[in-house]
Structure 1
Amino acid sequence: MRVSTASETGSERVGTMREGKLDQKHLLFGEDGSPNNYDLNMGYTGGGGWRTPRHRHDFDQIRYVISGRLPYSETDFLEEGWVGYFPESVHYGPQERAEGLRTLVLQAGGASGNGYLSVAQREAVNAELNKTGEFKKGLYHYTDANGVPQTVDGSQAIFERATGRKLEFATPRYTDVIAMNPQAYDWAQQGDAGVSEKWLGSFTERNLRIGFLRLDAGAVYQAGQHPSIEILFQLNGKVSAGGEKYGPETGYEFLANEGPVPVEAIEPTEFFRAVLHTF
């Protein structure tokens, strides 16, 4: 089990690849080179908002709206409390995020097994690219070896400089972002007394799972009993785990079949939950 709290995590300004101000707190990271490499972070949109062009990624993204309203196209939004699954290779945007938006974001390798380029790798390359070109409105502008001006998506430019290979996308498994309203789902008893779960969906042949977990006061959840990495993000309440006590905005990682690891609720508590693809 690994645990990280937002209150003890510093905030970082996202680089110049996109337009606007976005601060992030990176709670947990996976393992570079693993198909299940991931980044769990909290994002806050600063003054002037945050803008991206229509684009896509070669990895999965899951977003939970903590407060505000998250646009994922010119006409589509995730409302506060909603969850969105942004599958690899699926286009979304443009985005015009308003100041004050707070989101939880889980970026992870998709079902294709192409993995996920870590934040540290991307930021290092971002700095390099700024020496040879310029990021404007989510696009990277540069002049090639023949003196011809070129423009590519910012994330593509970073990927190709970091890996030394052309960015290729897996055939999309879905046609659009999947927007989910958790309030429309019912809680179901998990099996142990006082433990309830709300699964929003299972995706791809590799069984990515997204949902919520609820514990009554005194209830114990036995975590880490899945065939892949289990991620919890504490939304409220107070729990005891590994001999320590934790409150809201705490992230937990449990490796595949690491459990059972007991997480005991000191008071009623809810978590956002995801189980990553099984490879």
Structure 2
Amino acid sequence: MGKASDTDVERVGSMREGKLDQKHLLFGEDGSPNNYDLNMGLTGGGGWRTPRHRHNFDQIRYVIAGTLPYTETEVLEQGWVGYFPESVHYGPQERAEGLRTMVLQCGGASGAGYLSVAQREATNAELAKTGEFKKGLYHYTDENGVTQTKDGSEAIFEHATGGKLEFATPRYTDVIAINPAAYDWFPQGGDGVWEKWLGSFTERDLRIGFVRLDAGAVYQAGQFPSIEILFQISGQVTAGGEKYGPETGYEFLANEGPVPVEAVEPTEFLRAVLHKF
């Protein structure tokens, strides 16, 4: 079991426009198709802007406080969950100051994997020496002396890997915006353990949902055939002999469990089970 609750806050690099502070809770394994990054984001003064773009990896977003725009006219409300599938365009985004979100970025069903934060930020710094990131685009001069622009994330990926960024055929036509309040809770396993599945996606069975524990209830984690990620929304639990509170991230490897997580008081988690490879 991997877990993190007290990590440093970092300012996101200059690839996009505006201010975004991130607190990284958990990282996956570089080079794995299920590499991932679980983090929390806080939009700073002046907001945060991105152009319309897409990624070759998946994203799951949970709105902790505020409203998250994912196009010019559509938003995720507070408490909502969004599934941003690989290869699907979204944006432009104009995030307001004070927006707080949880974001899980992970390799998509195509198996293209996920370029780690450390790799991206190191590449970002290298590219800044030969060009400029402005409003989400990278501006540079090619070998023929001609000024060029490309999406910032595309420029970073291609410089870091030495290959061209390619996108799998999109499995969905749009971001999937989910209102968890419209779903019902069902008992799961032992007394006082409840679950709410929001959906299962792609042929590799990415799953998104919630787990709720009554006081004293024990959730037996890590019993899926792929990595299980929990993000603690509320309450207090004990795991591995230690106590944890809200905004803690937990990683359970495939079939690692059962690993007991016991609620000291009523507790709720967002749960994601990554793609099966």
TM-score normalised by the chain length of structure 1:
0.99
The answer to whether structure 1 residue 145 and structure 2 residue 126 are counterparts is: no
The C-alpha deviation readout for 1:148-197, integer Å capped at 9, x for no partner, is: 10000000000000000000000000000000000000001112110000
Aligned partner of 2:17 in structure 1 is: 19
SS at match of 1:113: coil
| SS of 2:128 mapped into structure 1 | helix
Amino acid at match of 2:106: A
Compute the displacement of 1:198 (Å): 0.3
* Structure 2 SS opposite 1:131: coil
1:98 equivalent among 93, 96, 99: 96
Mapped to 2, the partners of 1:179 and 1:126 lie a distance apart of 30
Q: Could you tell me how far apart the structure 2 residues matched to 1:234 and 1:15 are?
A: 27
Kindly provide the CA deviation profile for residues 46-104 of structure 1, in whole angstroms up to 9, marking residues without a partner as x.
Answer: 00000000000000000000000000000000000000000000000000000000000
Partner residue of 1:220? 218
CA distance, structure 2, for counterparts of residue 237 and residue 98 of structure 1: 28
Correspondence for 1:210 among 192, 208, 211: 208
Q: What is the aligned-residue identity percentage? A: 84
The number of residue pairs the alignment matches comes to 277
Indicate yes or no: 2:260 matched with 1:262: yes
The aligned counterpart of 1:4 is 4
Match of 1:230 in 2: 228
- Alignment of 1:48 with 2:75, yes or no, is no
SS at 1:235 equivalent = strand
In structure 1, C-alpha distance between the alignment counterparts of 2:241 and 2:11, rounded to whole Å: 33
Q: Aligned letter for 2:143? A: A
Q: Which amino acid aligns with 1:61?
A: Q
Q: What is the letter of the counterpart of residue 114 of structure 2?
A: Y
Partner deviation per Cα, 1:87-143 (whole Å, 9 max, x = no partner): 000000000000000000000000000000000000000000000000000000000
1:30 & 1:52 partners in 2: Cα distance? 25
Q: Aligned pair 1:244/2:236, yes or no?
A: no
Distance 1:121 1:9 in 2: 19
Matched residue type, 2:247: E
Once residues 271 and 49 of structure 2 are traced to their aligned partners in structure 1, the CA distance between those partners, rounded to angstroms, is: 28
Give the aligned partner of residue 191 of structure 1.
189
Q: In the aligned structure 1, how far is the partner of 2:267 from the partner of 2:95?
A: 30
1:26 corresponds to which letter in structure 2? H
Which one is further off, 185-194 or 54-63? 185-194
- In 2, Cα distance between the equivalents of 1:144 and 1:275? 42
For 1:75, the equivalent position in structure 2 comes to 73
- Distance of 2:272 and 2:128 partners within structure 1: 35
- Paired with 1:61 and 1:234, the residues of 2 have a C-alpha distance of 18
Distance in 2, matches of 1:91 and 1:239, equals: 38
| CA–CA separation in structure 2 for the residues paired with 1:69 and 1:75 | 12
- Structure 1, unmatched stretches of 5+, are none
The whole-number CA distance in structure 1 between the counterparts of 2:232 and 2:58 is 21
Task: Determine whether 1:119 maps to 2:142.
Answer: no
User: How far has the Cα of 1:206 moved from its partner?
Assistant: 0.2
Residue 88 of structure 1: aligned partner:
86
* Map of 2:107 onto structure 1: 109
Alignment RMSD (CA, Å): 0.4
Instruction: Give the aligned partner of residue 180 of structure 1.
Output: 178
Find the residue that maps to 2:219 and give its secondary structure: strand
Aligned AA for 1:245? K
Q: Give 1:230 shift.
A: 0.2
Structure 1 CA distance, aligned partners of 2:175 and 2:146? 35
